[in-house]
Amino acid sequence: MSIVLGPNRYGKAETRVVRVDRDGARHRIKDCNVGVSLSGDLHRTHLSGDNRDVLPTDTQKNTVYAFAAKYGIASAEEFALLLARHFTGATPAIRHARVVVEEYAWDRIPGASGHSFARSGGEVRDATVHCDRDGAAHVVSGIGGLVVMNTTDSEFHGFAGDEYTTLAPTRDRILATEVRARWRHTAVPDRAGWDDSYRKVRSGLLDAFAQTYSFSLQQTLYAMGSRVLADNPEICEVRLTLPNRHHFAVDLSPFRLDNDNRVFHAADRPYGLIEGSVLRDDAPDAGPAWE
């Protein structure tokens, strides 16, 4: 029996960088968390401790800060592409770079000066870029922490049952979830309207959730993914993770009160977890895009 080195990568995780653009009286904030992972011909460092092929993770951190200063942060996608393309040429041994950028939104405080902001809720934008030395790149954009609710127009019945089934069918329920969505772009243009694309996808997800009369969260997932693909020809696949944030009507009969579907207990666990991918039938091969 022989022992060999398998797939491996290394990098710098969670480099927090904040860029403030001070052009004029109205400042602009980009607040990001950057993760870098590099892979390639790195057998020497693993097998013998020879580090000649290793670009230190501290250098990777410094590069994030230097690029934020030199080029700014136009969007999560563009910044990730800049870094990934740089790192694939950093040393001869590096063949592939994976860069993940999470972007945290700040809103201007109404009526305040142009330099006063409040951090937006729990919603987080992100981008994952894979880049090879030959220049091939894959871009996946995403959003997480987007909490949504429909207080009606949702049913759940006709499901399978066995001796352990206690759930009662319902013709009117609250449907709530925390959307985690990621979408794959078919190509990486030289100049891309990443912000416009992100806003359009987010709007499509919300519209589909609000406009779908739901018989299951699975049905809603497909409607949301389909809307994104229908409205955005440059996107070929959408992956959605939708935890079911259950809301159970409280039994008020011990207090001799009626509960006409008005008072609920919001349960945090356990919860149903619905996951799925919606894609075009001619979508190109994803390669490493989702890793």
Exactly one of 45, 57, 91, 151 is catalytic; name it: 57
DSSP lists the bridge partners of residue 129 as 99, 139
- Report all structural domains of the chain as residue ranges with CATH numbers, in order of start: 1-135 (3.10.270.10), 144-291 (3.10.270.10)
88 noted as active-site residue: no
12 noted as active-site residue: yes
Say how far residue 279 (Cα) sits from the centre of its chain. 17
Least Cα distance to 65 among 22, 29, 18 occurs for 18
Least Cα distance to 78 among 181, 184, 192 occurs for 192
Helices 57-71/76-87 angle, 10° precision: 130
Spatial separation of the C-alpha atoms in residues 36 and 54, rounded to whole Å: 13
Torsion, Cα of 23, 29, 33, 34 (10° steps): -20
51-88 per-position pLDDT tens digit: 999 999 999 999 999 999 999 999 999 999 999 999 99
Rounded mean pLDDT of 17-36? 95
Exactly one of 12, 30, 96, 130 is catalytic; name it: 12
Residue 192: pLDDT above 80? no
220 noted as active-site residue: no
Rounded mean pLDDT of 26-54? 97
